Amino acid sequence: MTESTDRLAIRELFDAYAHCADRRDAEGQKALFTVDTRFAVYMDGEGTEPTYVLDGREALAPVFADLNRYDVTTHFNGQSTVTIDGDRATGESYTIAHHVYTEEDRRKIMIASLRYLDTFVKLDGGWYFAERNLIVDWTETRTQEET
Amino acid sequence: MTESTDRLAIRELFDAYAHCADRRDAEGQKALFTVDTRFAVYMDGEGTEPTYVLDGREALAPVFADLNRYDVTTHFNGQSTVTIDGDRATGESYTIAHHVYTEEDRRKIMIASLRYLDTFVKLDGGWYFAERNLIVDWTETRTQEET
Amino acid sequence: MTESTDRLAIRELFDAYAHCADRRDAEGQKALFTVDTRFAVYMDGEGTEPTYVLDGREALAPVFADLNRYDVTTHFNGQSTVTIDGDRATGESYTIAHHVYTEEDRRKIMIASLRYLDTFVKLDGGWYFAERNLIVDWTETRTQEET
């Protein structure tokens, strides 16, 4: 496996997370993580204490299930900068996550501007999330205008 | 041509569609498709009946011409996940299309959150859209605030 | 260095600009440019006269420092189409830049939909911005709704 193959696999891992989230494939989403993964969420931005930390792949299920309350979501992925060092890699990846829902007959959109600070590992030839630090840089909620 | 060259060509095809749309190069945009292409639009999301289907490259002209009613458009491309199998490939690609226009002296923006489910073919060394299924996941119209 | 290595380096240059902007690393951001770089800003879109032109890397400092008035920024990068010709390259790259700030106790977001028309050069094995033409296709300012 060359470095460019590794890069492609890591980019596909990042994008598979979005695909599984948006298609509500929670099992597929969990399978992208190592068994003993660590997932930390920073709702108040980088450099703060984590809002919560999930230890182990099984602990991710409620987070992914929580997406079911939205009518539709779009995890839109931007740049992903990755440094590979053998069977480990680290990266910073940008996502704007759009969550569409209905409240009192009005359509609303909550967007979260996210950066994932990840550690990836290669196991048996495949790449997995060993650690995800999800930084919420800002959020915005909008109500669809009456037309 | 190696797989990475094919991958680059398919990504450039995806991005050329956006470039031609935003620069109003309808001829260039048509040339990205096979002569007998099929373009289906799903305004109500995935798994519904197509809102309309265009058969053949020439049928695309009115769709592309329709962009001329906007002051400016931005077809912003995110992730594109592609599986290549010889001279054919399939993929899921995310775009948020921004359409800026003026109505009663107010500037408005209509955004459409899109996923393209594509089939690509390689002909004479170049890649083309053989089939595009445009899924409209959600749209939003916003009026620029008075300042 | 193969073409794919050059492509990766140029993409990483584009993404490093966003990273340095959002992390307020003005020194790192300046270091991405050639000493005699030219940076032109077109606030009224493509094909107009530049709103201003900065000559030389040192002239960039005030532009980057200006980001400090925002609470947080997100330079979200989309597609980047690059043509390489030896030690020079040109490209068109899409960014939506989000600027979050507070005004009269209300949180606001100004977004700018940008295209960078760049010329890159390779010097001593590394790629740099020799010329950036920043096209502002449109902007929008939004006030966070009361909840």
pLDDT for C127 beyond 60? yes
* Token code pair at residue C33: 């440019």
| Radius of gyration of the CA atoms of chain C, in A | 16
Nearest Cα of chain C lies from the Cα of B49 at a distance, in angstroms, of 30
pLDDT for C12 beyond 60? yes
CA B79 – CA B91 distance, rounded (Å): 10
CA C78 – CA C95 distance, rounded (Å): 6
CA C98 – CA A43 distance, rounded (Å): 18
- Chain B residues near residue C92 by CB distance under 8 angstroms: 19
Subunits next to A (3 or more Cβ pairs <8 Å) are: B, C
Give tens-digit pLDDT for B59-106: 999 989 999 999 999 999 999 999 999 999 999 999 999 999 999 999
- In contact, C122 and C6? CB cutoff 8 Å: yes
Across all residues in chain C, what is the average pLDDT? 95
- Chain C residues near residue B147 by CB distance under 8 angstroms: 141
Tell me the pLDDT band of B147, cut-offs 50, 70 and 90: low
- Chain B residues near residue A1 by CB distance under 8 angstroms: none
pLDDT for C3 beyond 70? yes
CA B98 – CA A37 distance, rounded (Å): 37
- At position A87, the amino acid (one-letter code) is D
The CA distances from residue B3 to A22, B8, B40, B104, B129, in Å, are 28, 9, 28, 51, 18
pLDDT for C136 beyond 70? yes
pLDDT value of position A1: 56
The 8-class DSSP code of residue A70 comes to: S
- DSSP symbols for C72-133: EEEEEEEEEEEEEETTEEEEEEEEEEEEEEEETTEEEEEEEEEEEEEEEEEETTEEEEEEEE
Q: Which of A15, A44, A90, A94 to mutate to test the interface with C (most CBs of C within 10 A)?
A: A94
